[in-house]
Amino acid sequence: MVIQLSKEKLGFEHLEANVIVSGKCCSCGSCEAACPIGAIELQNLQPTLVKDCTKCEFCWKSCPRMIDDYSPIYAQVFGEEAQRDPALGVYRHAYALRNADESIRKRAQDGGVVTAILVHLLESGVIEGAVISGVDPNEPWKPKPMVATTRKEIISATKSRYTRSPNLIALKEALKERKLKQIAVVGTPCHIQAIQRMRLAPLKKVDRSVVMTIGLFCSETFKFKELMEDKIVGELNVPLENLRKLDIKGKLLVYPRGAKESLKIPLSEAQDWIDPGCHGCKDFASDFADISVGGAGTPGKWSSVLARSERGQVVLEEMINAGIFLYEELPEESLERLRKIAAPKISS
């Protein structure tokens, strides 16, 4: 925890000194979304002050990297009584799920669970839109935060881009420009931590409007230039327009379109391309989401899914009962595997 010694209000300089200059920024976009006067913009993924700061304190109070110890927040989010798994956080139920719609599953990263939940929430009127990570139409595989308000837009964002996406910039658009009042947010654990930080700041509009958070499991993200341009395009000779899928299963797996086999990059080689903002991150399983989803622990085209909040569990059960998901219990061996994957992050 960064201690504030003086009673004087602290502004952007506090965030800059403690997070940005010290290399801890994970480019989540929360500070840009939180600033009420639009004084922060992420430029080349770096938060930059673009007008005078009025020291309202919301940016640094909303930043997930201003605190290292999240343990007090579990009780605030899930209640004092909630049982917490040391590696996987608080959850009510663990499922193995896959989207019953094969056409979506084929396009998805794993079981197409994230896409199914968003489409279901939209079509049942629970949300007006979702803050997600799409793809820049002019730059293949470059993540682009977006507000999706149609089934088509949600489906356009399937698959994982393992490089930075400042998703919460799109929360600013959803709230301030589109004036949406019921929003789902998808993101890596740092995005979901940021939503909780915003709720507690307190940013009341975020607290009221974000009605569902879907967190992804996450070990790390990579720098776009080093992974996508230098390695995949430069060395492996796969133009990004011809890249069908990237995956991480013990190795980085690169699937060119039309190829039967993946090209493999050892994770030891990829260590140098890890984004510096990921170092020291201790959350693997998106501990503060309503629903957490990942590929580890289940076979291909299934997802491991943790229902954490009551509202998250209600939605999943509703979807299982409606036949939207194929469903199995997540076995204890899978949970054990997830705990082992999470362990190095937690002890980092």
Ligand X SMILES: Cc1cc2nc3c(=O)[nH]c(=O)nc-3n(C[C@H](O)[C@H](O)[C@H](O)COP(=O)(O)OP(=O)(O)OC[C@H]3O[C@@H](n4cnc5c(N)ncnc54)[C@H](O)[C@@H]3O)c2cc1C
Please calculate the CA angle 24-27-33 and round it to the nearest 5 degrees: 120
Q: Which of 190, 285, 305, 330 binds ligand SF4 (CB under 6 A)?
A: 190
Token pair for 69: 């110890």
Nearest CB to ligand X, comparing residues 52 and 229: 229
How far apart are CB 313 and ligand SF4 at their closest, in Å? 23
Which of 36-44, 89-97, 128-136, 142-150 is the region at the interface with ligand SF4 (rule: CB under 6 A)?
Answer: 36-44
- DSSP per residue, 51-76: S------HHHHT-TTS-S--HHHHHH
53 forms part of the interface with ligand SF4 (CB under 6 A): yes
Binding at 55: pick from ligand SF4, ligand X, none (beta carbon under 5-8 Å per type): ligand SF4
Q: Which of 111, 129, 143, 277 binds ligand SF4 (CB under 6 A)?
A: 277
Binding at 330: pick from ligand SF4, ligand X, none (beta carbon under 5-8 Å per type): none
Cis, bond preceding 202 (omega within 30 deg of 0)? yes
40 forms part of the interface with ligand SF4 (CB under 6 A): yes
- Give the helix/strand (H/E) hosting 193: helix 189-200
Cβ–Cβ under 8 Å, residues 88 and 306: yes
Q: Which residues of 97-119 are buried (b: 16+ CB within 10 A; e: fewer)?
A: bbbbbeebbebbbbbbbbbbbbb
How far apart are CB 132 and ligand X at their closest, in Å? 3
How far apart are CB 341 and ligand X at their closest, in Å? 7
Please calculate the CA angle 40-182-152 and round it to the nearest 5 degrees: 90
Cβ–Cβ under 8 Å, residues 318 and 312: no
Binding at 20: pick from ligand X, ligand SF4, none (beta carbon under 5-8 Å per type): ligand SF4
What does the alpha-carbon distance between residue 293 and residue 131 come to, in Å, rounded to a whole number? 16
Binding at 157: pick from ligand SF4, ligand X, none (beta carbon under 5-8 Å per type): ligand X
Query: What are the beta bridge partners of residue 42?
Result: 47
64 forms part of the interface with ligand X (CB under 6 A): no
Nearest CB to ligand X, comparing residues 165 and 209: 165
What does the alpha-carbon distance between residue 13 and residue 197 come to, in Å, rounded to a whole number? 19
Binding at 27: pick from ligand SF4, ligand X, none (beta carbon under 5-8 Å per type): ligand SF4
Nearest CB to ligand SF4, comparing residues 143 and 297: 143
How far apart are CB 84 and ligand X at their closest, in Å? 20
The candidate with the shortest Cα–Cα distance to 195, out of 296, 83, 62, 308, is 62
- The residue type found at 233 is V
Q: Which of 20, 127, 155, 306 binds ligand SF4 (CB under 6 A)?
A: 20
Q: Which of 10, 227, 293, 307 binds ligand X (CB under 6 A)?
A: 293
39 forms part of the interface with ligand SF4 (CB under 6 A): yes
319 forms part of the interface with ligand SF4 (CB under 6 A): no
Q: Which of 116, 119, 171, 218 binds ligand SF4 (CB under 6 A)?
A: 218
109 forms part of the interface with ligand X (CB under 6 A): yes
What does the alpha-carbon distance between residue 188 and residue 286 come to, in Å, rounded to a whole number? 7
Q: How many residues bind to ligand X according to rule CB under 6 A?
A: 33
**Per-residue binding letters, 216-255, with ligand X (x by CB under 6 A):** xxxx-x--------------------------x-------
Distances (CA, A) of 329 to 73, 92, 94, 148, 222: 28, 12, 7, 31, 32
The total of other beta-carbon atoms located within 10 Å of residue 50's CB is 12
> Which residues make up the interface to ligand X (CB under 6 A)?
108-115, 132-133, 143, 157-162, 165, 167, 186-188, 216-219, 221, 248, 293-296, 303
